[in-house]
Each structure stands twice: as C-alpha cells, then as structure tokens.
C-alpha cells in the first residue's frame, strides 16, 4: 500500500496546523520535482484539494500514485513519512490517519498500517 495517498488525504483535514501545512507543502514539492507541475499526479492532488471529501478524487489520486510508482520514489517516501510523523503529533491524528488509510467507503483496504516498499 502506498504511503503518499493516505498522507495527503489525512493532511487535508489538518492544514490549519502550520506544522502539518509545512510538511504537506514539502510533499507536494517532492511530487512536483519528481513528476512535474503538469503531471497527472500533481493535478490529481490539486483536484483533491478542491474537494477533499470526494471519494472519486481520492481514488484518482491513488491510481495516479500507483501509475507512476510515486510510492516507490525515495524523496517522495521521505516527504510522506515526515508528513505522517507531523500528523501523528496532532490531536485525533490516529483516527484521521486510520480513516485516510482504510477509507470511509473502503476506497483503501488494509489493516490501517501503512507499509512502505522501497526499490531494491
């Protein structure tokens, strides 16, 4: 399971916290640096920001991350991990992260644990 998608989804509900916003912006910068501003992945993030509760946009983001192997890029993984760490420090963060991972409507499947698989 990718760490990028749940990190972005969870962060969108906590962007009012400056520490979360900074880490979120760092992840977006890593995505833009790796895949370019006009890439489908970066565009999917922008569309999700406009409608963060949209299950369709969440699924599109997940598909775009998977399509470009964005969940395997080391810089992107580091930025996503840093964001998850900042999210965990926030009140009610575990519940927010759990919902982002499992999805309210089963958009994501799994136990709620985020496993990162790195390229060998």
Residue range 4-31, pLDDT digits in tens? 999 999 999 889 889 999 999 999 999 9
End-to-end CA, the chain: 17
Contact between residue 4 and residue 71 where contact means Cβ atoms under 8 Å apart: yes
pLDDT number for residue 22: 96
When computed from its CA atoms, the radius of gyration of the chain, rounded to whole angstroms, is 13
- Interior CA angle at 108 toward 119 and 77, to 5°? 30
- Could you report the per-residue pLDDT of 72-87, keeping only the tens digit for each? 889 999 999 999 999 9
**Verdict on whether the full-model pTM lies above 0.85:** no
In this structure, what is the dihedral angle of CA atoms 76, 80, 82, 88, given to the nearest 10 degrees? 180
Q: What is the Cα 116 distance to its own chain's centre?
A: 13
pLDDT at 103: 59
């Amino acid at each position: 399971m990718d760490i990028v998608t749940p990190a972005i989804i969870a962060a969108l509900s906590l962007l009012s916290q400056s520490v979360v916003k900074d880490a979120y912006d760092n992840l977006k910068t890593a995505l833009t640096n790796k895949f370019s501003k006009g890439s489908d992945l970066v565009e999917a993030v922008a569309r999700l920001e406009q409608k963060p509760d949209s299950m369709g946009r969440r699924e599109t983001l997940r598909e775009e991350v998977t399509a470009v192997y964005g969940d395997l890029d080391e810089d992107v993984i580091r930025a996503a991990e840093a964001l998850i760490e900042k999210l965990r420090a926030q009140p009610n963060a575990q519940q927010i992260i759990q919902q982002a991972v499992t999805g309210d409507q089963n958009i994501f499947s799994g136990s709620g644990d985020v496993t990162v698989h790195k390229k060998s």
